[in-house]
Amino acid sequence: MRTIAHISIAAIIMMAVISPTVFSQITTNEQPVSINLKEIKDPPVPIFVDPPDMEKIRAEDAVNDNVAGGIQRIAVAIKINANSDTDGQWEYLSDGSVLWRISFISSGADALVLTYDRFWLPEGGKLFVYGQDYCDAIGAVTHEFLQGDQDNPAPFITGIISGDAITVEYFAPSYVRAKPMISFANIYYGYRYIGKNRSRDFGDPGTCQVNNNNDIAISIAPNPANDYIKVSIYKKYYKVGNTLFENENRDLLPDLDKTYRLRVISTSGLVVYSSELHDNSVMISTSGFFNGTYIIEISDGNKYVYQQLIIKH
């Protein structure tokens, strides 16, 4: 069960917002290995982390923001229980190297930050953190930059990732025998003064290099559902000049000049429905689905988008 805690690293996150160079982690400054790997599987099905009660959070902020000398809260800590031994997706590649990935989505967040209660990497291993479509990639973190050791892994924190999706990736070449210790403590749900801009210019440094205004997002109705759902796709952005804006009205439809695959996946990883999407929306019967949580995945083979579905009969 996930519980929400009061923020304890607000000063650290605020420092990162005000002066990223002060907070910047020591890394090898390279792109995630998975970008160039041809033999890997589809990305791991993300773990959906329930967002905080924002009505309650904003009511608390309205009071606490007026306290003299206080630090304004910009993120809320949500406890998560996941680690590299029992969660995520391990892949063993043909050259003997290994790849592990785990993804989290906390809907509506402007930015996400991960903290770890136990963190250690063997010599030769590399860790990366990034957002959707490899945005805001951080890495590689390697053992040279860490405190603690294999017997006594230390706490750790990785940097701010814009948006409500975050992926952690670990890669080790064939000569690395030891396994890492990556145990998550909290995911910090950033909701103000952090991470998210309503528009972004092509080529701006430090931003996600979005160059396709036909990127899609998913809408599901009803949700929770009983007998059926209507899954629709729409343009995530629209372009004015050289600037992309979010399609908040969800009224702009993508051109179906490519084939999209739609899958409904249980939290155990079982695919319970799969089809190609030949229109901007499709009706799916859910009367045979068991009660519970499912993931809607739509992919064109290169990019993946996800949405959580709840079935209640």
- Model confidence over 218-235: pLDDT tens digits? 899 999 999 999 999 888
Closest of 148, 162, 149, 71 to residue 113, by C-alpha: 162
Percent of the chain with pLDDT over 70: 85
- The mean pLDDT of 201-206, rounded to a whole number, is 35
**CB-based contacts of 240: which residues, under 8 Å, 6+ apart?**
none
102-126 pLDDT, tens digit per residue, is: 999 999 999 999 999 999 999 999 9
* Bridge partners, 159 (sequence order): none
**224 versus 135: which is more confidently predicted?**
224
Q: Is the pLDDT of residue 56 over 90?
A: yes
280-301 pLDDT, tens digit per residue, is: 889 999 999 999 999 999 988 7
Q: Is the pLDDT of residue 130 over 90?
A: yes
Confidence grade of residue 145 (pLDDT, cut at 50, 70, 90): confident
DSSP state at residue 16 = H
Q: Is the pLDDT of residue 2 over 50?
A: no
This prediction has a pTM of 0.81
**197 versus 242: which is more confidently predicted?**
242
Percent of the chain with pLDDT over 90: 55
Q: Is the pLDDT of residue 195 over 80?
A: no
Q: What is the dihedral of CA 106, 136, 237, 215, to 10 degrees?
A: -90
| Triad 292, 295, 296: Cα angle to 5° | 130
| Averaged pLDDT of the chain | 84
- The mean pLDDT of 36-63, rounded to a whole number, is 91
| Per-domain boundaries in the chain | 4-190, 213-311
- Choose the weakest-confidence range: 3-7, 48-52, 169-173, 194-198: 3-7
pLDDT of residue 207: 45
- The mean pLDDT of 77-103, rounded to a whole number, is 96
Q: Is the pLDDT of residue 9 over 60?
A: no
pLDDT of residue 200: 37
Closest of 271, 273, 291 to residue 283, by C-alpha: 273
CA atoms within 13 A on the CB side of 287: 3
Topology (CATH) of 213-311 = Immunoglobulin-like (2.60.40)
Rounded distance between C-alpha atoms, residue 234 and residue 223, angstroms: 17
**CB-based contacts of 81: which residues, under 8 Å, 6+ apart?**
2, 184
